[in-house]
Amino acid sequence: MTFKKLSPKQKEIFRWCYRDNYDALICDGAVRSGKTICMITSFILWAMRKFNGAVFGICGKTVRSAERNIISPLMNIADITAYFAVNYTRSVNLLTVEGCGRKNSFYIFGGKDESSYMLIQGITLSGVLFDEVALMPRSFVEQAITRTLSVENAKLWFNCNPDSQFHWFYNEWIKRAEERRALRLHFLMSDNPILTEKQLESAERQFTGVFHDRYIKGLWVSAEGVIYRDFADNTEKFLLDIPPDDIVYCAVGFDFGGNGSAHAGICTGFSKRLRKVVILDEYYRKEVISPAQLENDIIQFVRRCQQKYAVYDGYFDSAETTLIRGVRTACARDRLHFEVHNARKSAIIDRIRFTNLIMSQGRFFIMKNCKHAIEAFRSAVWDSKHLDDRRFDDGNYNIDSLDAFEYSFEPMMNDIIES
Ligand SMILES: Nc1ncnc2c1ncn2[C@@H]1O[C@H](COP(=O)(O)OP(=O)(O)OP(=O)(O)O)[C@@H](O)[C@H]1O
Ligand SMILES: [Mg+2]
């Protein structure tokens, strides 16, 4: 790709590093606003102009996400490849850029990768770019910054989408930008000059509630109030009397109860080309029961689902290893054609954002008889008193059905988004 035009804020990304008054750049704000693409281009051009034989860091949430979001696009940016030979050696996570009589090395690190944390400790860096810094552990970011302190004219480059206003990066860097000699640029989607009016509108529709505030308006706000606003206000439009006839795959998600919470199971169906996600059947039991009774209930629930749908996979609360083992043994004993997997339990905010997305795209439905799940979606609220994003849970809310539903779709999440 080539940059045909740049918005005023994007131009700043290319200029700030040649001014002596700044040691760092922070670009935070809306999704798709053109932060990463300009930052990586400017970073490489600055490094090549100012240094030779130096080492730099490029950090993503994980090494793999950095390869996908930064390295691959970089290889296609004509403003770089026209002047420099760019080579990436995946086995050592090393990018080399050579040309105009200079050669520099860029190591790729993943903030969440254990191995990156070890590797970055001994190294000296002349500059570090953090893509999606709000998704990295603070200790990793601080370690990487420490590695630049001995290099004169080293610069730091941060970009991210907003999180809650209690987030460490917001408080330590954005609020203190001036005293840290950092230039802060706040981005909106309108700062990306290639997005059309239609694309802006359609992107806006993908996010509601706190996601709209953070990813469209670019605000650092904590999640509060009703989680699934549209579902709570217009429940009827999500309900079905009969299941769609093009369900091609189903999975069960199961959350084990205890300490006042319920045992909840959800059977989710996915239609052709993963177009629709439908809650087809549910299990819900709040009273205290023995593990044997629970296994028995689960077998019966799976049998009931299998009579109607092709269900061969179940994803169970992975914290409860003994209960999972019991269920696995029971399924084998009863010769059930059903594989018991550990649930992934990815970050709660990702699961909720996904559900919100398929709801706003008109791809999410619930069978009318799944009363507990319907009530759970209608009543779910955020717990704004916590520093991280959480659902409010005082024992009266049914978050168990929501967890169970999320376990059932987690392995399919990326495929469903892409479809
Ligand atoms: N000036 C420009 N010229 C051409 N393409 C651009 C320009 N600015 C942005 N783009 C394109 O717009 C898309 C979004 O840009 P980018 O990925 O940098 O956004 P982002 O702000 O990092 O988004 P996110 O917050 O979702 O990571 C990319 O495909 C990018 O190549
Ligand atoms: Mg980005």
Q: Which contiguous run of DSSP H or E holds residue 184?
A: strand 182-187
Cβ–Cβ < 8 Å for 254, 404: yes
Q: Using CA atoms, how far apart are residues 270 and 280, in angstroms rounded to an integer?
A: 10
Cβ–Cβ < 8 Å for 247, 379: no
In which band, very low, low, confident or very high, does the pLDDT at 1 lie, cut at 50, 70 and 90? confident
Tokens of 282: 């549910």
Q: Using CA atoms, how far apart are residues 276 and 267, in angstroms rounded to an integer?
A: 14
Cβ–Cβ < 8 Å for 372, 255: no
Confidence check: pLDDT of 384 > 90: no
Tell me if 288 CB under 6 Å of ligand 1.
no
| Neighbouring-strand partners of residue 127 | 155
pLDDT at position 271: 97
Tokens of 290: 């023995």
Ligand 1 atom at minimal distance to the Cα of residue 35 = 21
pLDDT at position 224: 87
Q: Using CA atoms, how far apart are residues 266 and 351, in angstroms rounded to an integer?
A: 15
Tell me if 34 CB under 6 Å of ligand 1.
yes
Tell me if 31 CB under 6 Å of ligand 1.
yes
Tokens of 390: 């959480």
Given the DSSP bridges, would you call strands 247-255 and 311-316 parallel, antiparallel or unpaired?
A: parallel
Q: What is the pLDDT of residues 182-227, one digit of tens each?
A: 999 999 999 999 999 999 998 888 888 899 999 999 999 988 899 9
Confidence check: pLDDT of 260 > 90: no
Q: Using CA atoms, how far apart are residues 402 and 54, in angstroms rounded to an integer?
A: 50
The closest ligand to the CA of 10 turns out to be 1
pLDDT at position 122: 86
Taking CA atoms only, the protein residue closest to ligand 1 atom 2 is 3
pLDDT at position 208: 86
**Residue in 36, 65, 159 to alter for ligand 1 test, most ligand atoms within 8 A of Cβ:** 36
pLDDT at position 233: 92
Q: Give phi and psi for 97, each to the nearest 5.
A: -125, 125
Three-state secondary structure call for residue 158: strand
The mean pLDDT value for 28-56 works out to 98
In which band, very low, low, confident or very high, does the pLDDT at 253 lie, cut at 50, 70 and 90? very high
Q: How far is the CA of 292 from the centre of ligand 1 (A)?
A: 54
**Residue in 3, 9, 14, 32 to alter for ligand 1 test, most ligand atoms within 8 A of Cβ:** 32
10 Å CB burial of residue 401 (0-12, 13-18, 19+) is: buried
pLDDT at position 334: 94
Q: Which domains does the chain have, with CATH numbers?
A: 8-214 (3.40.50.300), 229-418 (3.30.420.280)
pLDDT at position 117: 85
Tell me if 37 CB under 6 Å of ligand 1.
yes
What DSSP letter does each residue of 218-274 carry, written as one string?
-------SBSSHHHHH-GGGGEESS--TTEEEEEEEEE--BTTBPEEEEEEEEEGGG
The mean pLDDT value for 36-63 works out to 98
Tell me if 9 CB under 6 Å of ligand 1.
no
Q: What is the pLDDT of residues 121-172, one digit of tens each?
A: 989 999 999 999 999 999 999 999 999 999 999 999 999 999 999 999 999 9
Tell me if 147 CB under 6 Å of ligand 1.
no
pLDDT at position 98: 98
The closest ligand to the CA of 214 turns out to be 1
**Nearest CA to 298 among 346, 269, 275, 266?**
266
The side-by-side arrangement of strands in the sheet containing 182-187 is: 85-89, 94-99, 102-110, 55-60, 127-131, 155-160, 24-29, 182-187
Cβ–Cβ < 8 Å for 276, 366: no
Taking CA atoms only, the protein residue closest to ligand 1 atom 9 is 34
Tell me if 93 CB under 6 Å of ligand 1.
no
Confidence check: pLDDT of 396 > 90: no
The closest ligand to the CA of 66 turns out to be 2
Q: Which long-range contacts (CB under 8 A, 24 or more apart) does 228-231 make?
A: 228/355, 228/356, 228/359, 228/377, 228/378, 228/380, 230/359, 230/360, 231/359, 231/377, 231/378
CA 129 to centroid of chain Cα atoms: 19
Tell me the average pLDDT of the chain. Answer: 95
